[in-house]
A and B are shown apart, each in its own frame.
Chain A
Amino acid sequence: KQEVTQIPAALSVPEGENLVLNCSFTDSAIYNLQWFRQDPGKGLTSLLLIQSSQREQTSGRLNASLDKSSGRSTLYIAASQPGDSATYLCAVVSGNTPLVFGKGTRLSVIA
C-alpha cells in the first residue's frame, strides 16, 4: 500500500528566503506525482505535475524534482513571499489506484 510522508509538518520562514519542502513515498512504481497548494478553507490548487519519466518541472518561482528510484520529491520555492503561506500537499498515482496524499506541510512566510 502506497504511503506518502511530508517533512516538515510545519515551517515558518522570513520573507525572501528560499526553501525546500520534502515528500517521500514507499512504492517507487508511480505514474506521476503532483504538488498542490491549499489555502485555509479552500480547495486544492495544482502547482506542478511530474510524470514518472521526468526529473523536474518548473513554474515561476517553483521547482519540483523527482527521484523515483529513491522515492523522493522536493518542492523548491525561491524568494518566498507572504502570499506563499498555505499548506502544500504532495500526492502520487500508482497503477490504477487514485491519488494518495501526504498530510502536507503548513508554510508561513513572515513579512
Chain B
Amino acid sequence: GAGVSQSPSNKVTEKGKDVELRCDPISGHTALYWYRQSLGQGLEFLIYFQGNSAPDKSGLPSDRFSAERTGGSVSTLTIQRTQQEDSAVYLCASRLSRGAGYGYTFGSGTRLTVV
C-alpha cells in the first residue's frame, strides 16, 4: 500500500488478557520498527526487524512482549497478560533501507487501553 497500515486503531482490553497488534509496512521496505508512546512521554523503541536478520529486541520492556514478522512483511506485536501500565499508543514504522538517505515512515498507531 501507499503507507504503513496498523490495526486495530483502538483496542480496549481487560487486565490480564493477551492482545495482538498488527502492522503492514510499505511494500518493499526491508526494515520494520515498533515504538511505544505513553501519555506525556516520548517515543520509546521496542523492537526492530531488518530483512532476514535476527530482530533487535533490546527495547522490549518485559518478557510479556514479543513480536514476529512473517515473510519479511506483516508484523504482529503481542502483549501477554496485559497490565494497566501497558496502556499507550503503539506505533509501527518501516524504512526502505538502513542507508543514511532513507527516512522512517510511521503508521497512525494503535491506541491500547487496559482497564
CA distance A104 to B43 in the complex (A): 10
Residues of chain A contacted by B99 (CB below 8 angstroms): 31
B side interface size, CB within 8 A: 23
Distance between A42 CB and nearest chain B CB, rounded to angstroms: 6
| Interface size band for A | 20 to 34
Given A34-B103, A43-B109, A46-B104: A99 and B91 interface contact (C-beta under 8 Å):
no
Distance between B6 CB and nearest chain A CB, rounded to angstroms: 8
Quick check: A103 and B103 within 8 Å, CB to CB? Answer: no
14 examples of A-B residue contacts, CB within 8 angstroms:
A31-B100, A36-B106, A41-B111, A43-B109, A49-B101, A49-B103, A89-B43, A91-B43, A91-B104, A98-B45, A98-B59, A99-B33, A99-B93, A102-B42
Chain B residues close to A by CB (< 8 Å): 6, 33, 41-43, 45, 48, 56, 59, 91, 93, 98-101, 103-109, 111
